[in-house]
Amino acid sequence: MQFHDSMISLVGNTPLVRLNSVTAGIQATVLAKVEYFNPGGSVKDRIALRMIEAAEESGALKPGGTIVEPTSGNTGVGLAIVAQQKGYKCIFVCPDKVSTDKINVLRAYGAEVVVCPTAVDPEHPDSYYNVSDRLVRETPGAWKPDQYSNPNNPLSHYHSTGPELWEQTEGRITHFVTGVGTGGTISGTGRYLKDASDGRVQVIGADPEGSVYSGGSGRPYLVEGVGEDFWPTAYDRTVADEIVAVSDKDSFQMTRRLAKEEGLLVGGSCGMAVVAALEVAARLGPDDVVVVLLPDSGRGYLSKIFNDEWMADYGFLEDSGPSARVGDVL
Ligand code: PMP
């Protein structure tokens, strides 16, 4: 009989799919690593599994324990699935700007969700950060993964995403492009590919305009899951060869093209990463193999990126100007 013991064994081993339409005029092969094939629908299942297993090994997470994390998105889903299968409880802390659909997904998996007001200072006792810290202190057997500082976030990619790409491309990958949020994906995957290729593979980060990684000050942008206004310790500053800043408009227009032209219904950070990948690929020749990682599905963004009114309100439907701006070489 062919079956998996549980959804946990389906984490990782996602497919590579060639982009055939948005790559018109480009000589290099551009391949997408489609992470929505993970059981929780995003790349974050990988880090959830490794962070939990490492905490079990170190004793930080004991049988029947409770996972407490400030997250509203993909990391929460990954943690909720792994926790449920392994018998842990989950409490997630979300700001009140998070959509009820996202909160309901976490609750559907059996997690408890505590919603905090957005309109208070980080120092306020009801802030997102303070509430999660208090829950960790007050809940017996609580453990906080903290994806921004947990070394098992990048390590999960060093041990899964990186080797998968090396094997899937038979070592022919020349460029790896990915969005940067916590920095876990680029740091772990990028480091593995550098090690496997003796430094030959070029690693390129894609970042929303305004975020610190591409030299911004933390100015707001609408692409979700990427960019920061601080430097997380999960991000290894020595891995990226280049960071490409991409506007919201270009990111969302490309996200819509991926659905219409490539059959890929993916999230906004995927469109952002593809804009950066095409910018890089346009400079390359027919022997180059560019892999771009697409972190999640477009299902979570139907009322935004895939909604004409929302796009028009922000002026994102008008013709695009010049696409990406290439940042400083790091
Ligand atoms: N895109 C989305 C939608 C995400 O949720 C994340 C994770 N925050 C990323 C991209 C970036 O991945 P990382 O945190 O590994 O840098």
Note the ipTM here. 0.97
One digit per residue, the tens of pLDDT, for the chain of length 330 reads: 999 999 999 999 999 999 999 999 999 999 999 999 999 999 999 999 999 999 999 999 999 999 999 887 899 999 999 999 999 999 999 888 788 888 999 999 999 999 998 778 878 899 888 899 999 999 999 999 999 999 999 999 999 999 999 999 999 999 999 999 999 999 999 999 999 999 999 999 999 999 999 998 877 889 998 988 889 999 999 999 999 999 999 999 999 999 999 999 999 999 999 999 999 999 999 999 999 999 999 999 999 999 999 999 999 998 755 444 444 344
Q: How far is the CA of 300 from the centre of ligand 1 (A)?
A: 14
The answer to whether 244 and 214 are in contact (CB under 8 A) is: yes
Which pLDDT belongs to residue 322? Answer: 46
With beta carbons less than 8 A apart as the criterion, state whether 215 and 302 touch.
no
**Ligand 1 centroid distance, CA of 2 (Å):** 32
CB-based contacts of 304, cutoff 8 Å, min separation 6: 222, 268, 310
- Give the residue, by CA position, lying nearest to ligand 1 atom 2: 225
Residue 54 contacts residue 152 (beta carbons within 8 Å): yes
Asked if 105 contacts 128 with a C-beta cutoff of 8 angstroms, the reply is: no
Q: How many CB atoms lie within 10 A of CB 87?
A: 9
pLDDT for the residue numbered 326: 45
Q: Which of 269, 301, 305 to mutate to test the pocket of ligand 1 (most atoms within 8 A of CB)?
A: 269
pTM: predicted TM-score of the whole model, two decimal places? 0.94
Residues with CB under 6 A from ligand 1: 73-74, 179-185, 224-226, 267, 269, 295-296
Pocket test for ligand 1, best of 34, 44, 248 (most atoms within 8 A of CB): 44
C-alpha 212 to ligand 1 mean position (Å): 15
